[in-house]
């Protein structure tokens, strides 16, 4: 299975003058907007005194995929100076459609205007995950643990002897960071399939790792086999998103040596299909939605 990107770029094309308090100058025009022959692959960013047209030229995502991302509101301004944003709360600003566009007669042939949403959608969607992790006790398996970004939530239970934590990841260097953040942690370099099937756990975690695995169904089934009856499975991952970037940001990103890391951009709906037929009961679902981040959550209990 080929790897693919989990995001695409909107690149600047031109500015449209629009002083504050004035009607949209495009509302009285007809026909395709100049510079955006395919409005589904473009957007207008509302700025002070103008609107800037951005267009998604790349073809890693087809027209339907771009349209779905826009409909879910998963468009962000990249405000970082990095080759790739790695702290979404700090690096990205969520965008929302401008309200007046909803009633505009040009909705069908205009890409629509967006403005900053004004709150941290990532922090809001992280809060329930952190609350779940703080409440875990017993044996915990973290599949694709990386460098344990949620160590702060797991540490109190581990230090109190209420939680035994095993991190599994193919990257030995990342696992060395886990041991620094969670001194009581056990680590295993390799894949879930290589971990002894005789080991059982009260909780299994896939925290933004499932879409990095080539066979999601096999991974979830393997995790289910290792769960004790009544144990829980927590699945958290990201859907696709669009980045509004300047020409300089775009150029900087293209100079990087990064490679695609995802096999899929599955949503919670897609993953429910992978889980179907397994002895797991759905406890909670937080899907990707307009007004939220591109992160989803599924939590199951083994029957």
- How do residues 249-284 score in pLDDT, each as one tens digit? 988 887 765 567 888 999 999 999 999 999 999 999
CB of 133 closer than 8 Å to CB of 150 = yes
Is the model's pLDDT at 71 over the cut of 70?
yes
Is the model's pLDDT at 167 over the cut of 80?
yes
pTM to 2 decimals? 0.92
Task: Show the tokens assigned to 208.
Answer: 């933004």
Q: What pLDDT band is residue 106 in, cutting at 50, 70 and 90?
A: confident
Beta bridge partners of 232: 203, 301
Beta bridge partners of 227: 201
Inter-CA distances, 230 with 98, 136, 197, 216, 280, Å: 46, 13, 18, 22, 9
- Residue 256: the pLDDT is 66
Buried b / exposed e across 109-121, counting CB within 10 Å, b at 16+?
ebbbbbbebeebb
In angstroms, the CA 248 to CA 253 distance is: 9
Q: What pLDDT band is residue 85 in, cutting at 50, 70 and 90?
A: confident
Name which of 127-131, 162-166, 253-257, 268-272 the model is least confident about.
253-257
- Residue 62: the pLDDT is 93
- What average pLDDT score do residues 85-105 get? 92
Instruction: Dump pLDDT digits (tens) for 132-155.
Output: 999 999 999 999 999 899 999 999
CATH 3.40.50.150 domain locations along the chain: 122-239+262-302
Is the model's pLDDT at 11 over the cut of 90?
yes
Percent of the chain with pLDDT over 70: 98
- Residue 65: the pLDDT is 94
Percent of the chain with pLDDT over 90: 80
DSSP 232: E
Q: What is the CATH number of domain 122-239+262-302?
A: 3.40.50.150
Instruction: Dump pLDDT digits (tens) for 21-44.
Output: 899 999 888 777 888 889 999 999
DSSP 82: S
- Residue 258: the pLDDT is 58
CB of 87 closer than 8 Å to CB of 126 = no
- Residue 262: the pLDDT is 87
User: Nearest 5°: phi and psi at 62?
Assistant: -80, 175
How open is the CA angle 261-84-209, to the nearest 5 degrees?
30
Edge-to-edge strands, sheet with 295-302: 186-189, 163-169, 138-143, 201-207, 227-238, 295-302, 280-286
Judge residue 185's burial from the number of C-beta atoms within 10 Å of its C-beta, 0-12 exposed, 13-18 middle, 19 or more buried.
buried
């Amino acid at each position: 299975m080929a790897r693919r990107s989990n995001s695409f770029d909107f690149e600047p094309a031109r500015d449209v003058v629009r002083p504050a308090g004035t009607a949209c100058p495009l509302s009285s025009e007809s026909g395709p907007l100049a510079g955006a022959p395919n409005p589904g692959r473009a957007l207008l960013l509302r700025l002070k005194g103008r609107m800037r047209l951005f267009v998604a030229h790349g073809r890693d995502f087809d027209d339907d995929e771009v349209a779905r991302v826009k409909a879910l509101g998963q468009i962000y301004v990249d405000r970082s100076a990095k080759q790739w944003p790695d702290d979404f709360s700090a690096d990205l600003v969520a965008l929302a459609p401008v309200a007046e566009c909803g009633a505009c007669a040009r909705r069908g042939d205009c890409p629509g205007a967006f403005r900053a949403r004004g709150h941290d959608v990532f922090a809001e969607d992280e809060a329930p995950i952190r609350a779940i992790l703080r409440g875990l006790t017993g044996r915990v398996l973290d599949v694709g643990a990386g460098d344990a970004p949620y160590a702060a939530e797991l540490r109190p239970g581990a230090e109190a002897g209420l939680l035994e934590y095993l991190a599994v990841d193919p990257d030995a260097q990342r696992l060395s960071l886990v041991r620094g953040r969670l001194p009581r942690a056990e680590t295993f370099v390799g894949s879930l399939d290589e971990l002894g099937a005789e080991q059982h756990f009260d909780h299994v975690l896939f925290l933004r790792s499932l879409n990095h695995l080539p066979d999601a169904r096999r991974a979830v089934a393997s995790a289910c086999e290792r769960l004790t009856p009544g144990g829980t499975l927590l699945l958290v991952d990201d859907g696709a998103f669009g980045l509004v970037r300047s020409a300089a940001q775009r150029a900087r990103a293209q100079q990087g040596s990064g490679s695609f890391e995802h096999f899929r951009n599955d949503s919670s709906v897609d993953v429910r299909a992978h889980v179907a037929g397994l002895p797991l009961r759905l406890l909670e679902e937080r899907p990707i939605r307009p007004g939220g981040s591109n992160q989803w959550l599924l939590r199951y209990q083994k029957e």
